[in-house]
Amino acid sequence: MKKAAELFTETIVHTQVYDSVLSRSGLMRSKDTGMKMVTSFMAEPTTSINMLADAIINRSRGDSRMAAKQVGALTTSITLNAVLQSIIYAMRDDDDDESYAEKYIASLTENLKSGFNPLNMVPFFRDVVSIVGGYDVERTDMSVISDLWSAYKALGRDDLSTYRKVEDFGGSLAKVLGLPVKNVMRDVRGIWNTVTNTLQEKSTAAGIWNAVLEGLTGDKMSNSQQLYLAMVRGDEAQTERVSARFDSESAMHSAIRKAMRDNDSRIAAAAQARADGNSSEYLRIYNEIVDEGVFTKEDVLDAIEAEEQKIKDADASEEAKAYIAKAKSVGNATDFANAVISGDYASAKTFKSDIIATYMANGKSAYEAEYAFTSAASAALKEAYLSGELTSSKAGNALVNYLGMTREDATNRTNDWAFEKQNGWSYSDRRSEYLSGNITRTQLINAMVSRGSTRAEATLAADTYDWNKAGYDVTTSAVERYQEKLAGKVSQADFYQAWTIYNDTQGVDANGDGKTDSGSKAKAVMARWAAELDVSANELTLLAQAWWADSTIKKYKAW
């Protein structure tokens, strides 16, 4: 029987996949659902740990030869797996600052370290090691441990209050015992915040009236409009309250100037007089507004200058009308739009041809004439759409049939117009509208979601604009990098300086092959960081880890 069992075992080992039911441990054969989840894909690890256990038992019984064979087989298997796996992992590493050999050695070292860790061979413990290593284990039975570890790591964060740390860590610890401590503490925190905020808030008569109007009309008045009205009425309490909503004084003054241009017709009149060279009329209006004592001289002057620039830009963009005025028989862009509105497509085509011909007769090339017509006609169609004279369908067809747009581009254009008609501001101006305080963060995010962005993408864009408000001219990808790897560890100011240095620094081509030498940029950047950043060595390392692998940092760090 013993010989038959040995022959059977040898046959199975050499002819069958070694994760079949014949080689599974008792734990893996359990019918418990939870145990099935825990031991999924663990045939080889459990076999390995059992071999190690057998080797220890054989050694203790004096059978050193068999123990050595078992340990040798296990070592060879783990090493060979690491060698082969690292070939693929190194190929997938997109770090341009390392050679393939460096990537391979780094990957091989990591795989060997993982392979020879006995905890990675044991169910449950393997998952705990993964969580501690920074990986997610998406399994219900491990969520408690995952939450507890995340809460433990958050204890060192400076951006969380002591109460929040106790809530997260204590709540996660209590969750192990099945106690809803975290839920209770979260509700207590919510109640406390609501009560304290309510006691600190100040209401004004103007604010209450604005709330009534918002409830009746469904339209929320922008901060710039509220500030303008409060200043004109002399409502100091409301002025102070709304002013506090702006992140900086410059943003507040920018909002005031925009509101002046939108609400005071004298600004446009002064700008026109200044553009026409009528200095006496311009100064008369300017002094009249300043003497009222509501707005500063700087705000009045800047508002007039901005409006004057708008007039100049409009004159330049509507150059077609200046040319068309020279030929009374030729219709202008408005005539073209009116023909589209009435459905007179023959006349619309005639107007287009005549406008382009007039441009060319006045010295423009065929390309320039076509471009000028497209610009003027698009503006005229937009004006007709916003006034309600032209439907979205007709506008889209005109953009395709007469302006040469693709159907997709035409749809995007009319969607932009529809958005502006509904919201009172252009979607393409969302950044400037948000930075000037004319729209709220919620309005910005909702607008982006309505135009096809995911909520995560819209939130990231809003976060980027918040960085811009704070004076950091960063990209969305930079903010995303900071949030994923450095938030709560390195300040925004230090990250911005490090990011600027990274972008401003170039690698070198010492061998003259026309390519940047591997690792030269990393070396140069880290040297500048060490010399120019006023941060600790630990923070320098954290910054470096946001861009490079540990092996690159170890090789080139200058601190």
Give the pLDDT means over successive 10-residue stretches in the chain (559 positions): 79 63 58 57 65 76 79 79 78 64 77 71 58 48 57 62 70 65 67 54 48 46 77 78 74 82 86 81 84 83 83 56 40 74 78 80 79 81 82 84 84 84 81 85 86 86 89 86 89 90 82 76 89 87 89 86
Structure token pair of residue 63: 């059978």
Q: CA angle, 444 as apex, 217 and 257 as ends, to 5°?
A: 75
Pinpoint the alpha helices (H) of 249-386. 249-263, 265-275, 279-291, 297-317, 319-324, 333-342, 345-361, 366-386
Phi then psi for 547, rounded to 5 degrees? -120, -35
- pLDDT number for residue 199: 47
Q: What is the spatial distance between Cα 108 and Cα 90, in angstroms, rounded to a whole number?
A: 9
Residues with Cβ within 8 Å of residue 389, at least 6 apart in sequence: 341
pLDDT value for 130: 54
Looking up tokens 């994923």 gives 484
Instruction: Find, among 266, 311, 260, the residue nearest to 286 by Cα.
Output: 266
**pLDDT tens digits for 334-387?**
778 787 877 777 777 878 888 888 778 777 788 777 877 888 888 888 888 887
Beta strands in 355-441 (DSSP E): none
- Nearest 10 degrees: Cα torsion 263, 269, 274, 276: 140
Distance between CA 323 and CA 363 in Å, rounded? Answer: 10
Q: Helix, strand, coil % (nearest 5) of the chain?
A: 75, 0, 25
Q: In the structure encoding, which two tokens stand for residue 239, read together?
A: 């002025």
Q: How many other CB atoms are found less than 10 A from the CB of residue 92?
A: 8
* Nearest C-alpha neighbor of 553 from the set 363, 167, 340, 543: 543
Q: What is the pLDDT of residue 280?
A: 78
Local structure of 246: helix, strand or coil:
coil
What is the structure's pLDDT at 556? 86
CA distance 213 to 118: 68
